[in-house]
């Protein structure tokens, strides 16, 4: 079974890598800092994906799911980054809109990780899962409606903020936050705290990007992409590593 798992995982990783090889060869400008940050995050996501999928076999049973989801998040981001990077290199356009699909899929998965890591150490009411999922969809949905022009930019911002603030409420003082404070599991408590910081401080970059890059257009698209790329390194890759640290501590 373990052998089969390893073959399956290696195949997935190879598929991810080959996803890029049949794309047209694009030449990155040697002086493009924006392009460089696209590369760094792409490769970071690839490495993280391979790492999480392989590590999945070495952690205690309850932690396998959070680790798998961490690998899926960086895997989806990797494919997406390769795509956005080629669009950028070929057309010089790196509109934030290209990040739509990635966020639509990976952000709900990240928010659900709060439920999954709690469920790894104790029984947790499933309603927490649904509340987190709903809030993340509202957050990204508001943004999508605003940026795609279905509602006005400010309306989209307000809806997005409602979703984000609810997520913050839930992980600090809502059911999820309260349960996290009572598990008596040190590695879990540490991980939960670090993830909270990422979602509070690291994620604040995105609404700020929405204000300055989209609503007021005071930041140019190149700088915005550099900021998002570097932020994603912390917000997606480090996010998964925090979970992995708790998983390994709970495995010993
Ligand atoms: C990997 C991508 C991540 C972690 C993206 C996170 C995105 C957000 C936290 C976006 C938040 C927004 C608001 C809080 C209000 C305005 C609209 C958004 C969607 C930009």
Q: What is the pLDDT of residues 28-67, one digit of tens each?
A: 777 778 888 999 999 999 999 999 999 999 999 999 999 9
Number of structural domains (the chain) is: 1
- Residue 89 has a CB neighbour count (10 Å cut-off) of 19
CA-to-CA separations, 229 to 37, 57, 111, 121, 174, in angstroms, rounded: 6, 30, 19, 33, 31
Give the position, in ligand 1's atom list, of the atom nearest the Cα of 164: 14
pLDDT of residue 21: 54
Tell how far CA 134 is from the center of its chain. 16
Q: What is the pLDDT of residue 136?
A: 97
**pLDDT per position as a tens digit, 84-106:** 888 888 887 766 777 878 999 99
pLDDT score recorded for residue 190? 97
- Look up the CATH number of the domain holding residue 235: 1.20.1070.10
Report the distance separating Cα 64 and Cα 244, nearest Å: 10
Which atom of ligand 1 lies closest to the CA of 232?
Answer: 1
**What was the pLDDT predicted at 209?**
85
Domain of 99 in residue numbering reads as: 2-251
Q: Residue ranges of the chain with pLDDT lower than 70? A: 1-2, 16-26, 94-95
HSE-CB for 23 with a 13 A CA cutoff: 17
Q: Which residues contact 103 (CB under 8 A, 6 or more apart)?
A: 140, 143
Which residues surround ligand 1 with Cβ inside 6 Å? Answer: 103, 106-107, 110, 139-140, 142-143, 157, 160-161, 164, 203, 206-207, 210, 232, 235-236
Nearest to 92 by CA among 40, 32, 42: 32
**Ligand 1 atom 20: residue of nearest CA:** 207
Ligand 1 atom closest to Cα of residue 77: 1
């Amino acid at each position: 079974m373990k052998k089969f798992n390893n073959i399956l995982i290696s195949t997935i990783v190879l598929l991810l890598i080959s996803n890029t090889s049949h794309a047209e060869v694009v030449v990155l400008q040697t002086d493009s800092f924006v392009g460089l940050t696209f590369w760094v995050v792409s490769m970071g996501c690839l490495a993280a994906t391979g790492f999480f999928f392989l590590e999945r076999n070495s952690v205690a049973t309850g932690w396998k799911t959070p680790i798998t989801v961490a690998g899926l998040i960086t895997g989806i981001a990797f494919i997406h980054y390769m795509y956005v990077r080629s669009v950028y290199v070929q057309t010089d356009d790196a509109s934030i809109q290209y990040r739509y699909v990635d966020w639509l899929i990976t952000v709900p998965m990240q928010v659900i990780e709060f439920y999954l890591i709690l469920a790894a150490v104790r029984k947790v009411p499933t309603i927490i899962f649904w509340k987190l999922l709903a809030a993340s969809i509202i957050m990204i949905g508001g943004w999508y409606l605003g940026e795609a022009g279905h509602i006005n930019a400010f309306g989209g911002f307000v809806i997005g903020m409602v979703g984000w603030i609810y997520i913050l409420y839930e992980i600090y003082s809502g059911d999820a936050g309260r349960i996290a404070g009572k598990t008596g599991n040190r590695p879990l408590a540490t991980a939960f705290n670090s993830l909270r910081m990422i979602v509070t401080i690291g994620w604040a970059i995105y609404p700020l990007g929405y204000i300055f890059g989209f609503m007021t257009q005071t930041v140019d698209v190149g700088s915005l992409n550099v900021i998002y790329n570097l932020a994603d390194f912390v917000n997606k890759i480090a996010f998964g590593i925090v979970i992995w640290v708790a998983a390994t501590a709970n495995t010993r």
